[in-house]
Chains A and B, each alone.
Chain A
């Protein structure tokens, strides 16, 4: 293995043993590949003269850097502007380890030889890389040998690395494609650790749905920074994609002018839903409920219900489907059936058989704690919210939202990084 730190500032020799210059930086351009080849070396001569030498002219990199041609036959590399400078842009910078789902700092870049090419294979993020940079590699090896412990390198493969620098749109796209493969909650955790400029830049390229999922998991600071950076139309589109209860939470924390603007830009249906949610106090069942749930009329049989769930647009949008609610006239709740019971029941069975006047439910102003208590007591995945006057079913509180009070899943959102934040 060859390390970038071992190459920097080293002399470069031509085929006849003349010194051509010193390595100032190394450039790669196909950063989307699993092992991008070295495209050029930036050479420095006498501290002022810089030139780019084509990577294919490299004969050896280690232990000495030698070129395969005479210095008079050197052909310069023509940059196209999308090259990644390994020293300037990768070494010592933070990157996302998409496999380990964390933000790490690059202590070194690993280069390997394959056939006649030199390829970037990964980055070293471990303590060993740090010691090597400090010139303590030999000392560390000696200590490891004396005290009989293992020095392990922590190397992340290049394909699991997303560079977070955002000054080049092409490379940013590569990073985004790699980031999107992670779970929204992991992306959100990483964005929380990043500076606001970078997280903004990274998120801009995501499509609405992924952006919405990530925002749901992000801290308020990140949510705000990202919303502020988007034009209002886009922000409204993203809010539409979010769970209404999450969108309402976010809007409630924005200043009035801004949230009014965003609400009015949203589609009427979503806007009305969110306005209703905003009317309830934050710690009430109404404040934490979602208005998306799966329902069918009571005169359906099992087969019709299943077909409905498969085909209707509304059902498709429902991300949390554990129960099917049976609604009568005026959207009154008449019964509920779990998906398990539905799937295992004979197809011609009428849903009316499940009708039950006594479904466990809460009212929109029921306190969050009471809601959580009922959910836990009856082992529910979700509890319906019913308007006390009209008896209309307004929405459901899902178990994760209900238990947030007792065991906040999004607890990291509430912990300041520093005192005084």
Chain B
């Protein structure tokens, strides 16, 4: 009876499968950089300011890697979520502040996802009063039934449409010299519009929900510090990859729309950027990408918000609970879905502006969370020997300061303009 009954796999295959099982949260989190508000933000940034904002993408790629790495490391060391740690370390008041900011940011972002659904539909003349309610009901159902596995795969495939920007770069022949210039000599315009767009680019890349979501899923997978290097690889690779695509969206729109002086006010304008590549099919390509990205985010965002909230306050949570056992959990999940889809249905709500402003708001709310995360990741009591390195601290503090400075500049922009 000593013979092996189980079929044994070759060693390299088990190693590869193990790697695949660890890779994941980082990649998903980073793909979500290019959700509907992401695509809208980069399109508008490229169409309005040409290559001017490309250096910001470079800077925040570093920022995103550093910040998400901290979150992943905290998840691996403690096995707990961000909301858990904040509550246990800082008490009720601070954690309520953090929760409030998270809920505001995530509500705004979920609104933006439904705006993405609406914009995708309107490209084909489908009224938002049809597309948004259907999306909201179907996605609520899917989330409650926890049928992600298949749905998520389908949505990830739809998201591949954003790869068309990578291909498009070679057909639109961008001015590489100008791009190089824009990176070497970063420029800031002291105008409200520019600062809002710049914050939106930051806010759509480094999001509070990505931090909470990543830490929770690393903790949930039970990644320990032995396997952590794979997770770090996943996070770094995922972030870099997400931002490469972001940069390409910006470059393509700059090379097509900015050059020809086309402003982006809605999805129809933004889709024009893909015309040199896809011709008539460009609006199909654009709306498929937008729809996939929005729905993918809707399947994750409200749920992770709800989990974080229930974690912080100790409400019963989980889709395996009955509604009666976890009323707060289910109530909040459904409320987020309902409120955010209803906001989009306000007559004549400007979809693209909503998407961009939601990301600007995200960025403005981010520093509070970053400061808390920095404190946690530097605490010996929590992290043991895995506290932040000096370099991590310098970079993370740098990003936090950058966001703060730009936010302050935005509020004092009229004043600053008088001085300079």
- Of B63-71, B130-138, B213-221, B261-269, the one contacting chain A is B213-221
Binding site for A on B (CB under 8 A): 1-2, 4-6, 8-9, 14, 24-25, 28, 78-80, 84, 87-88, 91-93, 95-96, 146, 148-149, 152, 213, 216-217, 219-222, 224, 299-300, 303-304, 307, 312-314, 316-320
A256 with B4: CB separation less than 8 A? yes
Chain A, range 82-141, C-beta contacts under 8 Å to B: 91-94, 102-107, 125, 130, 133-134
- Whether a CB of chain B sits under 8 angstroms from the CB of A416 is yes
List of B residues within 8 angstroms of A412 by Cβ:
318, 320
| Partner pick for B314 among A104, A197, A198, A260, CB 8 A cutoff | A104
Give the Cβ gap from A130 to chain B, nearest Cβ, in Å: 6
A420 with B92: CB separation less than 8 A? no
Give a binary string over A268-283; 1 marks a CB under 8 Å from any B CB, 0 the rest.
Answer: 0001100100110000
A410 to B182, CA, bound (A): 57
Cβ contacts A to B, 29 pairs, < 8 Å:
A92-B91, A92-B92, A102-B316, A103-B314, A103-B316, A104-B314, A105-B87, A105-B312, A130-B92, A193-B318, A195-B78, A195-B80, A195-B84, A195-B219, A198-B79, A225-B222, A255-B14, A264-B2, A271-B1, A416-B148, A417-B216, A418-B216, A418-B217, A418-B300, A418-B303, A420-B25, A420-B152, A420-B217, A421-B221
List of B residues within 8 angstroms of A198 by Cβ:
79
| Partner pick for B319 among A92, A102, A264, A415, CB 8 A cutoff | A415
Residue among A102, A125, A259, A417 with the highest chain B CB neighbour number at 10 A: A417
Residue of A nearest to B299 (CB): A419
Residue of B nearest to A95 (CB): B314
List of B residues within 8 angstroms of A106 by Cβ:
314
- Whether a CB of chain B sits under 8 angstroms from the CB of A356 is no
B1 with A272: CB separation less than 8 A? yes
Chain A residues with a Cβ closer than 8 Å to the other chain, count: 42
Give the Cβ gap from B237 to chain A, nearest Cβ, in Å: 15
Chain A, range 252-308, C-beta contacts under 8 Å to B: 252, 255-256, 259-260, 264, 271-272, 275, 278-279
A225 to B223, CA, bound (A): 10
- Whether a CB of chain B sits under 8 angstroms from the CB of A224 is yes
List of A residues within 8 angstroms of B221 by Cβ:
221, 421
Give the Cβ gap from A44 to chain B, nearest Cβ, in Å: 16
Chain A, range 157-209, C-beta contacts under 8 Å to B: 193, 195-198
User: With A94-B314, A105-B313 given, is the CB distance from A419 to B300 under 8 Å?
Assistant: yes
- Whether a CB of chain B sits under 8 angstroms from the CB of A411 is yes
Residue of A nearest to B310 (CB): A105
A105 with B314: CB separation less than 8 A? yes
List of A residues within 8 angstroms of B299 by Cβ:
419
List of B residues within 8 angstroms of A272 by Cβ:
1
List of B residues within 8 angstroms of A193 by Cβ:
317-318
Residue of A nearest to B9 (CB): A256
A197 to B77, CA, bound (A): 9
A224 with B4: CB separation less than 8 A? no
Residue among A103, A195, A252, A416 with the highest chain B CB neighbour number at 10 A: A195
A166 to B14, CA, bound (A): 34
List of B residues within 8 angstroms of A91 by Cβ:
91
Residue of A nearest to B26 (CB): A420
Give the Cβ gap from A135 to chain B, nearest Cβ, in Å: 8
User: With A92-B87, A421-B221 given, is the CB distance from A259 to B313 under 8 Å?
Assistant: no
B5 with A278: CB separation less than 8 A? yes
B313 with A417: CB separation less than 8 A? no
List of B residues within 8 angstroms of A221 by Cβ:
220-222
